[in-house]
Structure 1
Amino acid sequence: MTGAVFVVLLLGGVPIAVVLAMSAIFYIWASDNTLLYDSFAQQMFSGIESYGLLAIPLFMLAGELMNDGGLTRRLVNAARVFVGGFRGGLAYINLLANVFMAAIIGSAASQIAVMSRAMVPEMQKEGYSREFAAATTAAGGLLSPIIPPSMLFVIYGVLAQLPIGDMFLAGIIPGLILSAAFFLIIALIGLRQQFPKGNWMSGGEAGRAILSALPAALIPVAIVGGILGGIATPTESAAIASLIAFVLGAVLYGELKFRNLGRLFARTAVNASLVVFLVAAANVFGWVIIYEAVPQKLAAMLTTITSDPFLFFLIVNASLLLIGMVLDGIAALILVVPILLPIAVNEFGIDPFQFGVVVCLNLVLGLLTPPVGAGLYIASAMSGATPTGIFRALAPFLLSVLVVLILLSWWPALTTALID
């Protein structure tokens, strides 16, 4: 009956956080268990009582400060120095700039919005179709949940009780592999469609572009370097990144105006509160799932199907692709991890870091796949291209993600090498 309430509310367009909380309340009411009533508020609060979750609003703040402070534009210009002269150079610039931004923003939806505004008009001016420009930008957004820092990795680390710094390390090699796959896709499409030839900057222009972007490059260095060097926790690194972005935007570049800070902070607070409330509501829902021993029942069913970890991964990947098509990535992550992680680790001996990277990459695909596809609509709104046209242009990128998912599922060392 609780499942029916969940489905009805979800299909009725109720916000997912409210769906999770109301489904848990209905279960408690139906069970007439006074212990569950007494523990509801406590379980909701305990879901967000984590130091690691502080990294989420801080990473969001760093991204907002970068956008308003002119740092994003300078990083895009620096990317032009390295790949701008190749045939299809602006497509490579788009992707390389997305790699830079993925090491700062940590949110795929935010990255797609930011980079669509910056790159799609420029690519159209040079003769690229609007659909391909938007698709390349949207595909670059898929790097954000994998290249550290990642909002999904933070939430997964909290749910799985794993060190978030190690979770970030697990995403470095997969992020580079996915970036290389996207570069290859652009090269192949460019050969077929004869993309416009790019122009290399002169020595002086290249030097000025790199010097202008070097201070902005301190932010990903501060985030990743601080974590790898054991100097700062992910949350502290996010705070340092926000401070650097503020100083650079307000003092060095002079583009961040103090009069705009109130709106910037309010925007960050609203976006962060939505995520935090979702985590709190989903913790209660996950508590109900565990109380009903759903993981144990599902484990018993799956172990009758297969004992092979790779086949289990394929089943999980197929299921998550369907879940990601209808649920937000964060909500889906919070729902599936308490159920599937114990099965993966205890029944199939899968490393929790490998499982986390595969799950996070899989679920974020839902941003770009119908019927929900929030990322498609964001890219469409920012570019003016139709969601259907963007999805068609995205197909080669999505296929390459599926290949990378299978590779990561087959070879654990790709996610655990830097941790071990």
Structure 2
Amino acid sequence: MTLSIISFAATLIAGLPIAIVLGAAGITHLIEIGNPAYLHIITQRIFAGMDVVGLTCIPFFIVAGEVMNASGVTGKLLEFIRSAIGHFRGGLAYAVVLIAMILSAILGSANAVASILVATMIPEMSKDKYPEEFSGALIASSGILGPVIPPSVTFVYFSVLSNISVNALFMGGVIPGILLGLGFIIVITVSVKKFGLPKGAAFNFKKLLLSFISALPALIVPFIIVGGIMAGIFTPTESGAVAVLAAFLAGLFYRKLKFHMLPGIFIRAAIATSSIFLIIGFGNIIGWSMAIDKIPQAISAAILGLTQSKTIIILLMLGALVVIGCVMEATAAMLIFTPVMLPIAIGIGMNPIHFGIVFCIMLTIALVTPPVGMVLFVTSNISNISLEKLSKAVVPFVIVAFVVTFVIAFVPDIVLCIPKMLGII
């Protein structure tokens, strides 16, 4: 495994695409194992990693995000939420978190939520003289609610890797997602005085009512998607198709979606989907090679042999995930470390659904944690706010997110209460 680690580190430092990094490390590891027969089925393993029915929802959610971005849905949500809370000091900042929570229940992706918020909210916050680094950090942080509040692409992938019920993961993510949103609201409340955040226009009930009616189609969509999954009307994969349909209908209702936009929407969605599936396919090589070499079992036995303390082991895993998330892309990290950490968690008596939620949230927080922080890059590129400014301004949000996740890790009922109530577990 030594040469594989060297290969991984060298290609990562060289700045090669993460799919190539994972593929090179996996092939190097297979060479180390020393059985030439394994090298003849690398291509099959790449396609086996991608050829999973549960992953079909990913392109659906990506298309839904692109359609939502073009259909003006976020603008209608902003009008309604701003009418409701805009008169408070910092009301527009609170609105960002609430809109992110609604969009998260439709799109399931951090990048999709963040890109929509950047396009819509940055100009509004700039007009109200919010500090640009605060605006960017808030939007990037709110974006990570996308993979936590169901439906979630991240939970779908973890379900595929672990054979854990995706419905249980979806329902387990509801309360943690809300708690993360509340944590960000606390950061905003503290920032109101620090940055002197402005008030909006005075409260107007008539304006609130009209904006509510206008936003109603957008507000109904999350209830249809999440409610349909909870009631068993459609599967999580089917919920992706429902999200696309809902996004198209909303776009037509608001008369913002035009036929000439469709080629661009599908091309961008195809590129984003391809990049994810390449990571999954090439990453499957190293996952497979580690399974052959029984590395997950060896690591699990070593840690459980070191200590039997559940508290210490959970802290070790959380600490490892902080470091892993800071240097590795989330999909790749999930593929490599799910088979390593899941047996350890089960070995110390953690419910696998509880572990799955904590594991996914920790890697999701990494999306806004420097130096990798993909959502930070997306926010910086679209908004033209420097990455250095964003990296400093996002620190309070990241700290709060870690605190919330550590609490969730040691209080399993926060995750498990809704799945238990629904009889999923």
Q: Does 1:408 align with 2:389?
A: no
What is aligned with 2:191?
189
Q: Deviations over 1:262-292 (max 9, x none)?
A: 1111111111111112112212211111111
Given residue 254 of structure 2, which amino acid in structure 1 is its aligned partner? Answer: Y
Residues in 2 aligned to 1:15 and 1:69: alpha-carbon distance in whole angstroms = 32
Question: Which position in structure 2 is the counterpart of 1:259?
Answer: 260
Rounded to whole Å, the distance in 1 between the matches of 2:173 and 2:5 is 34
Structure 2 equivalent of residue 361 of structure 1: 361
* Match in the other structure for 1:308: 309
Amino acid at match of 2:293: E
Partner residue, 1:272:
273
Alpha-carbon distance in 1 for matches of 2:191, 2:33 = 57
Distance in 2 (CA, whole Å) between partners of 1:275 and 1:282 is 10
Q: Name the structure 2 match of 1:36.
A: 38
Mapped to 2, the partners of 1:29 and 1:300 lie a distance apart of: 25
5 Å-filtered alignment, 1:216-365, equals: 216-250=218-252, 252-345=253-346, 347-365=347-365
Residue number among 161, 165, 168 corresponding to 2:167 in the alignment: 165
Q: Measure, in 2, the Cα distance between the counterparts of 1:391 and 1:37.
A: 42
Q: Match of 1:385?
A: 385
- Give the distance between the partners of 2:368 and 2:249, measured in 1 at CA: 35
Q: Which amino acid aligns with 2:51?
A: E
Q: Is the 8 A contact 1:169 1:419 kept in 2?
A: yes
TM-score, reference length from structure 2: 0.94
Once residues 89 and 378 of structure 1 are traced to their aligned partners in structure 2, the CA distance between those partners, rounded to angstroms, is: 24
- Alpha-carbon shift at residue 246 of structure 1 (Å): 1.0
Q: What is the letter of the counterpart of residue 118 of structure 1?
A: T
User: What amino acid maps onto 1:99 in structure 2?
Assistant: M
CA displacement at 1:341 relative to structure 2: 0.8
Separation in 1, partners of 2:413, 2:92: 34
Give every structure 1 segment of 4 or more consecutive aligned residues whose post-TM-superposition deviation is greater than 4 Å.
none
Does the residue aligned with 2:394 lie in a helix, a strand or coil? helix
Structure 2 counterparts to residues 67-216 of structure 1, below 5 A: 67-216=69-218
- AA aligned to 1:377 is F
Secondary structure at 2:15's aligned position in 1?
coil
The offset of 1:26, in angstroms, is: 2.5
Q: CA deviation at 1:409?
A: 0.9
8 A Cα contact 1:310 1:409, kept in partner: no
Preserved contact between residue 222 and residue 237 of structure 1 (Cα < 8 Å): no
Q: What amino acid is aligned across from residue 60 of structure 1 in structure 2?
A: I
Query: Contact 1:92–1:183 (CA<8 Å) still a contact in 2?
Result: yes
Residue in 1 aligned with 2:423?
A: none
8 Å contact kept, 2:33–2:293: no
Q: TM-score, normalised by structure 1?
A: 0.95
Determine the C-alpha separation between the residues in 2 that align with 1:284 and 1:341. 19
Structure 2 distance, partners of 1:133, 1:31, is: 50
What is the CA distance between 1:200 and its match in structure 2? Answer: 4.0
Q: Which moved more, 1:362-371 or 1:325-334?
A: 362-371
**For the Cα contact (< 8 Å) 2:107–2:243, is it kept in 1?**
no
65 and 297 in structure 1: CA distance in 2 versus 1, 3 angstrom threshold:
same
For 1:129 and 1:364, the matched residues in 2 are separated by 25
Show CA shifts across 1:321-355 (max 9, x none): 1111111111111111011111211x211111111
Where structure 1 has 5 or more consecutive residues not aligned to the other structure, the ranges are none
Return the alpha-carbon distance in structure 2 between the equivalents of residues 259 and 382 of structure 1: 22
Q: CA deviation at 1:127?
A: 2.1
Q: CA deviation at 1:295?
A: 1.3
**AA of the residue aligned to 2:237:** T
For the Cα contact (< 8 Å) 2:83–2:204, is it kept in 1?
A: no
Whether 1:59 and 2:61 are equivalent positions in the alignment is: yes
Deviations 1:135-172 (A, max 9, x none): 11111112112111111111001101112121110100
SS in 2 for 1:122: helix
Counterpart for residue 419 of structure 1:
419
Confirm or deny: 8 A CA contact 1:52 1:154 kept in the other structure: yes
Distance in 2, matches of 1:200 and 1:222, equals 33
Secondary structure of the equivalent of 1:149?
A: coil
* Structure 1 stretch displaced more, 366-375 or 266-275: 366-375
Question: How far apart are residue 198 of structure 1 and its match?
Answer: 2.4
Q: How many residues align?
A: 418
**Which segment is superposed worse, 230-239 or 372-381?**
372-381
Q: CA deviation at 1:375?
A: 2.2
Residue 319 of structure 1 deviates from its aligned partner by 1.0
Please say if residues 112 and 140 of structure 1, whose CA atoms lie closer than 8 Å, have aligned partners that are also in contact: yes
- Cα shift at 1:39: 3.4
Which structure 2 residue ranges, 5 or more long, are not aligned? 421-425
TM-superposition CA deviations, 1:285-335 (whole Å, max 9, x none): 111111111112111221233212232121111111111111111111111
Identity in percent: 35
Letter in 1 for 2:278: F
Secondary structure at 2:50 match in 1: coil
Deviations 1:161-194 (A, max 9, x none): 1121211101001011111111122112214443
- Note if contact 2:66-2:112 (Cα within 8 Å) is conserved in structure 1: no
- What is the CA–CA distance in structure 1 between the aligned matches of 2:331 and 2:371, rounded to whole Å? 17
In 1, the alpha carbon distance for the partners of 2:61 and 2:371 equals 29
Read off the aligned partner of 1:336 and give its amino acid letter. F
- Alignment root-mean-square deviation, CA: 1.6
Task: Report if aligned partners of 1:52, 1:164 keep a CA contact under 8 Å in 2.
Answer: no
Structure 1 counterpart SS, 2:323: helix
